[in-house]
Structure 1
């Protein structure tokens, strides 16, 4: 979904900062100038905002379909801090690896579910199997549990 004017023009633009919010027992919420590999062309709104699965249960990976409800338990904490970014905008590339993490490349600020700015960086591997002991970051657990993206 994307905002269109009455005459059909898309007037929505990317926010000046790329942010990822790790939600309480839910998905990753991203806003900014997003480039999500494998995303459908008929969903132009996802170039500005998206909800991506982090529990491993979605039937529409990498996107969230609310399969986490009642199944996934995580408080949305982010323990690491990273260094403040010199630049906050620009393209944020999101690459879902087959049977593995989401790779982020580009300036991004992470927010914990509490709203606290928690991490800054240019590259990250995010857990999307739901089992990492270092959430939201991938620790390789997907390999041990046989996580499948299909």
Structure 2
């Protein structure tokens, strides 16, 4: 029998309805018991994180996109050997890029962050980009875009941060949101992102806490 399709449905002003994803872990690398269908919190206020407990209805959570969000657009930064594709609109601020390769990803021109693909080897850049959980970073070689990694479907509950989604789960919502990479993306669970359902790094600024996971 074919494997059941892995789907994440974004309920309007409510939780993420996850279907057929059994690999669910937290930042402590603990396996969380998953069900065939489960509701994961995205308002940030559940007392049973990462699961929804209905609190979104009490706190008046809204899942709408906000006007003043970062532009959701892939920008190209061409180097001699590799082109970096960078979409800051879906960046989860996980820090793998500027933390591992600041000479490429933490460089500025006129106070604007501009990646410099010639400041490191092609191999170093590709290795760093593959660590990006949000899909904000990808790369192009010889005209072909590389933005996917073949993995089993999984959800990782990051420490005080978003849900890391991997393995091609299909994302469904009423506005047709599309992740930059179909294979991996990050979904907001603090309730504060201006680019819902995706994480935009707001959890860092509102000091979102989830001590259990």
Q: Which has the higher strand share?
A: 1
Counterpart for residue 6 of structure 2? 18
Tell whether the 8 Å contact from 1:51 to 1:64 is kept in structure 2 after alignment.
yes
Task: Return the offset for 1:14.
Answer: 9.2
Q: Is 2:18 aligned against 1:30? A: yes
Q: In the aligned structure 1, how far is the partner of 2:20 from the partner of 2:3?
A: 5
For structure 1, list consecutive stretches of 5 or more residues without a partner in the other structure: 1-12, 83-89
Change in CA separation of 1:18 and 1:30 when aligned onto 2, cut-off 3 Å = same
Task: Return the offset for 1:107.
Answer: 1.1
Larger radius of gyration: 2
Aligned length in residues? 121
Task: Return the offset for 1:119.
Answer: 2.9
Q: CA RMSD in A?
A: 2.6
Task: Return the offset for 1:108.
Answer: 1.2
The TM-score normalised by the length of structure 2 is 0.51
Q: Which residue among 141, 145, 148 is the counterpart of 2:202?
A: 141
CA offsets 1:41-86 (integer angstroms, 9 cap, x no match): 4xxxx2422110000001111111111113112248xxx8x9xxxx
Counterpart for residue 85 of structure 1? none
Q: Which runs of 4+ in 1 moved over 6 A?
A: none
Tell whether the 8 Å contact from 1:53 to 1:128 is kept in structure 2 after alignment.
yes
The TM-score normalised by the length of structure 1 is 0.70
Task: Return the offset for 1:20.
Answer: 0.6
